[in-house]
Chain A
Amino acid sequence: DAGVIQSPRHEVTEMGQEVTLRCKPISGHNSLFWYRQTMMRGLELLIYFNNNVPIDDSGMPEDRFSAKMPNASFSTLKIQPSEPRDSAVYFCASSLVGMGVYEQYFGPGTRLTVT
């Protein structure tokens, strides 16, 4: 089992630049989640996809953030333009909704630093 794959693992960028984070969910899972983890706010859900369709994006902080899931095996989270307050660890998680408990399996995260 490959697990959830995220890239890059680390990203350092300058304020104003565009940042794209990538995620490959576990094969066969039908739901994908993007989370952000910071010391101040802990773990927050940004957006949730089910069958490639965004279901809940109420956690997306502002219009600078956008997420897409063009197919069942790939998702991106884009920040444009990036700001220092976007510095955080971004996690992608996937789940098989409709088959029981629906536990979520997390990727290794992307540590984003915006200078």
Chain B
Amino acid sequence: AQTVTQSQPEMSVQEAETVTLSCTYDTSESNYYLFWYKQPPSRQMILVIRQEAYKQQNATENRFSVNFQKAAKSFSLKISDSQLGDTAMYFCAFRGSNYKLTFGKGTLLTVNP
């Protein structure tokens, strides 16, 4: 079974600075997908970024980018130029061949003015 570990329960960052959220996973599959979801206080789950395991290039979406290290099974999220609206719970998720999303426990990110 796949597992997803987010070792940072809480983090904080100053507005306009950069922050990196960590995620590691364990799987025996070679083809899979990784995702970061954001859950603001409204509790809506919002897809932030995705990474296909077969792609070596790290995904980027505006201020959000990932550092995908397949051998190390690591998938960190970097948020640049943090904004107050980035305050949310962030979940790392794994999807293998069975279409199930396995989520980490989440990291609560607070952006301070």
Contacting residues, chain A, for B95 (C-beta < 8 A)? 102
Report the separation of the CA atoms of residues A23 and B78 in the bound assembly, to the nearest whole angstrom.
33
Report the separation of the CA atoms of residues A105 and B44 in the bound assembly, to the nearest whole angstrom.
10
How many residues of chain A get a CB closer than 8 Å to chain B's CBs?
23
Q: A14 near B: Cβ within 8 Å?
A: no
| Surface stretch bound by A, among B16-24, B80-88, B99-107 | B99-107
Total A-B pairs, Cβ < 8 A: 46
Which bracket fits the contact residues of B?
20 to 34
Report the separation of the CA atoms of residues A97 and B97 in the bound assembly, to the nearest whole angstrom.
11
Taking CB atoms and an 8 Å cut-off, the chain A residues in 3-62 that contact chain B are 31, 33, 42-43, 45, 48, 50, 55-56
Contacting residues, chain B, for A93 (C-beta < 8 A)? 45
Please determine whether B101 and A33 come into contact, CB atoms closer than 8 angstroms.
Answer: yes
Q: A73 near B: Cβ within 8 Å?
A: no
CB distance from B23 to the nearest CB of A (A): 14
Contacting residues, chain A, for B52 (C-beta < 8 A)? 101
Please determine whether A109 and B33 come into contact, CB atoms closer than 8 angstroms.
Answer: no
Contacting residues, chain B, for A43 (C-beta < 8 A)? 91, 101, 103
Candidates A31, A33, A108; contact of B43 at CB < 8 Å: A108
